[in-house]
Amino acid sequence: MQIDFGTTNRVIGIDLGTTNSLAAFMDLTGPKIIPGSDGDKLVPSVVSINPRLPNRDREGVGALTSGEIVVGNAARELLLTQPERTVYSVKRLMGRGLEDIQEELKLFPFHIAPGSEAVLQLQLGDRTYTPPEISAFVLRQLKQNAEAYFGEPVTQAVITVPAYFNDAQRQATKDAGRIAGLDVLRLVNEPTAASLAYGLDKRENGIVAVYDLGGGTFDISILKLHDGIFEVLATNGDTHLGGDDIDNLLLRIALEDVQSEWGEDLSRDSEGVQRLRRAVIQAKERLSFVPFTFIELEYHGNKYHREIKRDLFDKLILPIVNRTLGPCRNCIKDAGVTVDQIDEVVMVGGSTRIPLVLSAVENLFRAAPHTELNPDEVVALGAAVQAGILSGEVQDKLLLDVTPLSLGIEIMGGVVSKLIHRNSTIPASATETFTTGVDGQRNVLIHVVQGERELVIDNRSLARFDLKDIDPMPAGFARIEVRFLIDANGILNVTARDVRTGAEHSVDVKPSYGLTDEQVEKMIQDSVEKAEQDFEERQVREARVEADTILAAVEKARRHDAYFELSDEERAAIDKAVNELLLVYHADDHNLIKQKIEQLNQVTHKLAENMMNTAVRGALKGTKI
């Protein structure tokens, strides 16, 4: 079907999903899904490459070109017969390194190219592709579907990402859009997009929880709606939790059954594994509507047939469902609201069709969740609304997103100075002024970190760069202005500037790969559990920095003429105070260090006065009053 709306600067909304992807647009009546040429709205996020065969008419190849990249439904069919040449769930790999994906590699039939630890590359046929390049094939298919539907070029898009995607994963998504020929105007958190689709016309004011359990990720967001403004109060989630985990659980059980019944380890047969995977997924989907079903497989003359009841299914997946509830409780706490204050709960993602998931969410929030919209489509519909906001088709609506983790820089003592705090509304900027710690310092190292802990060593390092050629001044006199700017896509730009000379250095933070799953899940939890310990350690380190400063000043003063104007007793008192401070310097008691610093301050008062008098006499020498 082709519709001609005339030539416009059209912006489409895209849900780039782990399992399926789809695109939508705004028309006069609201957001609409764009169908493909086959009429299907969903494009499976699967990419395959047809083998280069001498016989082009070989059975199974059909009309496909030898060596052709295949996307969507056709690729999903090829997953059965050539799984080693087919990539799926690539969203799990976006912006991540080899060390982050060891668990996935045990389940994926495709291969990682050797020697690519820093830049992950997937082996597809006789070529290698990065995860953004694979995702670009899916985005290109959605782009072509939209262009066929509208009868005009489509070059601009809004793409959704999980709320907990870090900088590297967001950047990888933007790169995929660029490779596909799309100008990505905005990355929008998936729960936020869902709130647009559900809440735009339903409620002008209120608090909404968006529970998004998709194929590969789980997100929970608490949003406040007021006067047409959608503001995210808090986000939480798990970048490694979704329907895929349920599929893999059932698949492992089925593989054990098959090995017991057939005496054959089917896990070594890629095609057999994919056929069995499809069978367990179909059974899982049926169990959302019927009390029992069967997992059935016929393969190489063998038959596997197992009944599975919903109560057994619920027991098996209960730990997975419960893993979503912890982030929900943390998100409610971070938002500063109670369950009773939440007016509506929105369900997003195909896995929310599972009755156990619905009941768990209803029990937690004590309210029946919204399920009116197709959970597979709601994110794309919201992306279309955001696209309409950016293109001007939707008026009087504003979207405010938040950054999920705090951002700051390392300061003296190995502690963190946070410039932009967790759950700050983005786009966001913050500027602070710092100084040098060494006399005559010409360069300053700027170390950018992300996380909630007090010490640099406990947070994630994002970037390091030098601000060079600053004015060589005494310690504490230089003024270094550091500015953090997070754009609408959550990408961080850091600028450091010498206020006196104007020398400046800027960097876009694009780490090579993201956090491990354990780091993502534990980061905020650790910051709460270890808050007291971290704060005490920070106080100790700050006390040591203060001690370093006064010890350096006293050492410098000892070479000054004013020091020798003191009596022997006064100089001895200073020496004693210095030694006592050095003795407690490495103690873990910041109060004791502070006490010795104060003692040293007191016994050096006269020395400071003498130095000041000497400086004044020098300045006034030869001057008449």
pLDDT tens sequence across 324-348: 999 999 999 988 899 999 998 999 9
The structure's pTM equals 0.62
Q: Which residue has the higher pLDDT, 376 or 490?
A: 376
Q: Which residue has the higher pLDDT, 90 or 402?
A: 90
Q: Which residues pair with 319 in a beta bridge?
A: none
Q: Which residue has the higher pLDDT, 219 or 318?
A: 318
Grade residue 415 by pLDDT with cuts at 50, 70 and 90.
confident
Out of 49-53, 340-344, 425-429, 569-573, least confident range:
49-53
Mean of pLDDT values over 500-514: 66
pLDDT of residue 267: 85
How far are the Cα atoms of 28, 382, 384, 402 from residue 491, in angstroms, in the given order?
Answer: 33, 21, 22, 12
Structure tokens at 118: 């820093």
Would the pLDDT of 64 be above 90? no
Mean of pLDDT values over 121-128: 75
Domain boundaries, the chain: 11-242+317-400, 407-514, 531-620
- AA letter at 198: Y
Active site (annotated) includes residue 548? no
Grade residue 526 by pLDDT with cuts at 50, 70 and 90.
low
Give 624: exposed, middle or buried? Use CB within 10 Å, 0-12, 13-18, 19+: exposed
Which member of 100, 133, 175, 190 is catalytic? Answer: 190
Instruction: Please give the Cα distance from 139 to 43 (Å, whole number).
Output: 10
How far are the Cα atoms of 225, 340, 386, 395 from residue 392, in angstroms, in the given order?
Answer: 20, 36, 10, 6
Secondary structure letter of residue 538 according to DSSP: H
Active site (annotated) includes residue 307? no
Would the pLDDT of 59 be above 50? no
Instruction: Please give the Cα distance from 188 to 162 (Å, whole number).
Output: 8
Would the pLDDT of 320 be above 50? yes
Active site (annotated) includes residue 212? yes
Q: Which residues pair with 432 in a beta bridge?
A: 482
Nearest to 210 by CA among 197, 227, 228: 197
Structure tokens at 606: 């006269």
pLDDT of residue 2: 41
Peptide bond into 114 cis (omega under 30): no
Q: How far is CA 328 from the centre of its chain?
A: 17
Q: Which residues pair with 480 in a beta bridge?
A: 434, 498
Would the pLDDT of 515 be above 80? no
Would the pLDDT of 518 be above 60? no
Would the pLDDT of 273 be above 70? yes
Residue ranges of alpha helices (H) inside 151-269 are 167-179, 190-199, 243-262
Would the pLDDT of 487 be above 90? no
Would the pLDDT of 229 be above 80? no
Would the pLDDT of 547 be above 90? no
Nearest to 67 by CA among 54, 80, 79: 54
Would the pLDDT of 482 be above 90? no
pLDDT of residue 114: 65
pLDDT of residue 56: 40
- Nearby residues of 32 by Cβ (< 8 Å), 6 or more positions away: 24, 25, 26, 381, 384
Cβ proximity of 489 and 170 under 8 Å: yes
Angle of the 531-557 helix axis to the 568-584 helix axis, nearest 10: 150
Mean of pLDDT values over 98-122: 67
Mean of pLDDT values over 222-250: 81
Structure tokens at 362: 């209803």
Active site (annotated) includes residue 106? no
Cβ proximity of 444 and 467 under 8 Å: yes
Mean of pLDDT values over 283-304: 92
Domain 407-514: CATH superfamily is Substrate Binding Domain Of DNAk; Chain A, domain 1 (2.60.34.10)
Grade residue 225 by pLDDT with cuts at 50, 70 and 90.
confident
How far are the Cα atoms of 86, 116, 173, 424 from residue 233, in angstroms, in the given order?
Answer: 40, 39, 24, 9
Element (H or E) spanning 209, and its range?
Answer: strand 206-213
pLDDT of residue 617: 60
How far are the Cα atoms of 309, 369, 412, 613, 620 from residue 625, in angstroms, in the given order?
Answer: 101, 83, 45, 17, 9
Nearest to 161 by CA among 428, 345, 383, 485: 383
Percent of the chain at pLDDT > 70 equals 83
pLDDT of residue 154: 95
Which member of 91, 224, 418, 596 is catalytic? Answer: 91
- Only one residue has tokens 């007016």, namely 343
Which member of 100, 167, 212, 238 is catalytic? Answer: 212
Q: What would you measure as the largest C-alpha separation in the chain, in angstroms?
A: 113
Classify domain 531-620 at the CATH class level.
Answer: mainly alpha
Out of 139-153, 360-374, 533-547, least confident range:
533-547
Q: Which residue has the higher pLDDT, 133 or 163?
A: 133
Mean of pLDDT values over 486-510: 78
Our separate counts of H helices and E strands in the chain read 16, 28
- Only one residue has tokens 């619905």, namely 358
Q: 148-166: buried (b, 16+ CB within 10 Å) or exposed (e) per residue? A: bbbebebebbbbbbbbbbb
- AA letter at 384: A
- Nearby residues of 483 by Cβ (< 8 Å), 6 or more positions away: 429, 430, 431, 494, 495, 496, 497
Fold assignment, 11-242+317-400: Nucleotidyltransferase; domain 5 (3.30.420)
Q: Which residues pair with 293 in a beta bridge?
A: 308
Q: Which residue has the higher pLDDT, 422 or 213?
A: 213
Instruction: Please give the Cα distance from 566 to 375 (Å, whole number).
Output: 81
pLDDT of residue 202: 57
Kindly report the backbone phi and psi dihedral angles of residue 303, in degrees, each rounded to the nearest multiple of 5, phi listed first.
-125, 135
- Only one residue has tokens 């909304």, namely 13
pLDDT of residue 284: 94
